[in-house]
Amino acid sequence: EAGVTQFPSHSVIEKGQTVTLRCDPISGHDNLYWYRRVMGKEIKFLLHFVKESKQDESGMPNNRFLAERTGGTYSTLKVQPAELEDSGVYFCASSPLLAGGPFEQFFGPGTRLTVL
Amino acid sequence: AQKVTQAQTEISVVEKEDVTLDCVYETRDTTYYLFWYKQPPSGELVFLIRRNSFDEQNEISGRYSWNFQKSTSSFNFTITASQVVDSAVYFCAKHGANSKLTFGKGITLSVRP
């Protein structure tokens, strides 16, 4: 079974440009999460989808970040316009929606975003 | 804020040594879950263990063992007879009443042959 996949693996853009990150969760996982790790700091929660609905977006830094999960399958995270402080590794994770949780979240390899 | 603290940032050991990675957490939740993840050079986070707050039994899985001490809010991870393949960044994390994982900063473990 395929794991969580993320695209692209690396992105280098200039300040002010737009970037869209994509995450494909494990098939059948209704929970989808976005996290971000800025260099040397903790991995921080950005938001949580249950199917296509945003369950918790308390970690989104500001309105330059827009996440979508149309149809409850893959998700995109758009940064527009990108700023220098947005550089970091963006992780996506998914987990099943089952009673008795929370179960482990399965993580993708991350997208390394560099804003110059 | 309910933090997870991994005070060690980098640890270097020689193969076959035992090594303990420390994790201390803060929480106001009665029920919570603790996790350890491993991040090898390939970048993805690999799940190692989940422990709920009501289960203080220590757990052993092969060369890995975990010591959960609720009284000191610690959830330490020991690797016995370390191997080069254990070299990675290890993250401790907590899941409370909300939906998100709160991570520590991670510990970079280097195992030298």
pLDDT in tens, B76-95: 999 999 999 999 999 999 98
Distance (Å, whole) CA B50 – CA B64: 13
Q: Among A108, A61, A49, which Cα is nearest to B100's? A: A49
Region B101-113: mean pLDDT is: 95
B1 pLDDT band, cuts 50/70/90, is low
Token reading at B3: 């933090």
Interchain CB contact of A36 with B (< 8 Å): no
Q: Is B64 on the interface with A (CB under 8 A)?
A: no
Task: Tell me how far the alpha carbon of residue A20 is from its chain's centroid.
Answer: 10
| Residues of chain B contacting A56 with CB distance shorter than 8 Å | 98-100
- Is B98's CB within 8 Å of A56's CB? yes
Q: Is residue B51 within 8 Å of B81, Cβ to Cβ?
A: no
Q: Which pLDDT tens digit goes with each residue over B22-69?
A: 999 998 888 899 999 999 988 889 999 999 888 888 888 899 999 999
State how far Cα A70 lies from the chain centre.
Answer: 14
Half-sphere exposure of A48 (CA within 13 A, CB side): 15
Residue of A nearest to B38 (CA): A107
Q: Are B25 and B94 in contact (CB under 8 A)?
A: yes
CB contact under 8 A, A109 and B42: yes
Which pair of tokens denotes residue B104? Answer: 């520590």
Strand pairing of B74-79 and B64-69?
antiparallel
Strand B10-14 to B107-112 pairing: parallel
pLDDT of residue A78: 98
Q: Whole-angstrom Cα distance, residue B78 to residue B48?
A: 12
The pLDDT of residue A1 is: 66
Cβ of B103 within 8 Å of Cβ of A43? The answer is yes
List, for chain A, all residue ranges whose pLDDT scores fall below the cut of 70.
Answer: 1, 100-101
Helix (H, G, I), strand (E, B) or coil at B94: strand
Which 3 state secondary structure label does DSSP give B71? helix
